[in-house]
Amino acid sequence: MKQITLLLALLVLTLSVNAQQTINTEEMTGLALLYYQDAVNGNARAQCILGWCYHEGNGVPQDYTQAVHWLRKAAEQGDTQAQHNLGCCYNEGQGVPQDYTQAAYWYRKAAEQGNSGAQCNLGVCYEEGHGVPQDYTQAAYWYRKAAEQGDAGAQCNLGICYDEGQGVPQNYTQAVYWYQKAAEQGDVRAQYSLGYHFASGQGASQDYTQAVYWWRKAAEQGSAEAQYSLGFFFASGQGVPQDYTQAVYWFQKAAEQGNDEAQYNLGVCYEKGNGVTPDYNQAAYWHRKAAEQGNAEAQCHLGFCYDEGYGVPKDINQAIYWYQKSAEQGNAVAQYILGLCYEIGHGVKQDKAKGIELLRKAARQGNKTAQDSLRELGYEW
């Protein structure tokens, strides 16, 4: 789960100046100028807003040190948004040395007064063990406090707690309930997760159309996971008419963000000419991207590219290297191909015993070709 970002909302925000420091108010504009005098006179709300101005560079040059100064002034007077925002500054190391203990301290001050952003962030502290002992039960407690106030990030985080059984009993129905709440507010993580639950039928009736609906929402906000999932459903025709052009479009979006499954599938599209003109160079390029991230299927395909000289110079040593990488991760196709290589001495020193061992590994995973090969050689698996 991700920390909620610093939410210094216009009407809910604090800092101050050293007594000896001279402030040139002629350089101030907008809110900074409007609230400066009240902040100097000790008004907590004005101090909070002035702190926000310094943090964001609104009407004054951006200055995190000054932001913290004014936020602290307001926080010490009990202003909940200032307490929350000061906690964020400590969490991020903005204007002060990063200090998770101080972050949790100020989050708690605000959370106990009902500030939903602070409640959510305090939950994150407990989940990650930042500034407090790790405690999933406390994390879920604070997420719920914020979620019940409508905080979308907390609603999503509480959904994850129910999804994974962290701090609460695992309950997919409750996970879907909270994901739905957050997704309807535009939370991209919740939209992706809600789509997943509709696709899998966990906690909700399986509904591919709804899965596509929510994945599209998340994909359009840039979620690589949702972009890949949407591409996969276009490729397979689940929840939408099969459309390889759309599949390639979404695979490309996700692949460019580094999603290894999308990179592998995009490579396959280029191999087969699904939604694009066949292009072995592009196929090998995307298989390599995924293979270097550890994707076993891509490693096998890249090995085959080197074996046959598809999109790369033919290189049996590189082919064996990638087959081996894939086989070690349990990929049955790579185990089968590598087994044959050892059986006949293709690119490796012939080792029939090792070849049979690899063929058996593939066959035991249900690889029909490996089973047939073993049968022809007179071996069981």
**pLDDT at 13 > cutoff 60:** no
Quote the crossing angle between the two packed helices 296-308 and 332-344, to the nearest 10°: 40
User: DSSP label at 15?
Assistant: B
**pLDDT at 22 > cutoff 60:** no
Q: Output the pLDDT for position 289.
A: 98
Q: Is 169 exposed, middle or buried (0-12, 13-18, 19+ CB in 10 A)?
A: exposed
- SS3 label, residue 150: coil
Q: How many CB atoms lie within 10 A of CB 174?
A: 17
Q: Output the pLDDT for position 275.
A: 98
Query: For residue range 32-55, what is the model confidence (pLDDT) as tens digits?
Result: 888 899 999 999 999 999 999 999
Domains of the chain: 1-98 (no CATH), 222-329 (1.25.40.10), 339-381 (no CATH)
Q: Output the pLDDT for position 29.
A: 82
In DSSP terms, which residues pair with 70 in a beta bridge? 15
Range with the lowest mean pLDDT among 9-18, 59-68, 131-140, 312-321? 9-18
Query: For residue range 193-243, what is the model confidence (pLDDT) as tens digits?
Result: 999 999 999 999 999 999 999 999 999 999 999 999 999 999 999 999 999
State the Cα–Cα distance between residues 328 and 299, nearest whole angstrom.
11
Q: Which residues contact 204 (CB under 8 A, 6 or more apart)?
A: 172, 173, 176, 197, 198, 210
Q: How confident is the model at residue 28 (pLDDT cuts 50, 70, 90)?
A: confident
Q: Output the pLDDT for position 24.
A: 57
**pLDDT at 25 > cutoff 70:** no
Look up residue 96 and give its two tokens: 């002060």
**pLDDT at 15 > cutoff 50:** no
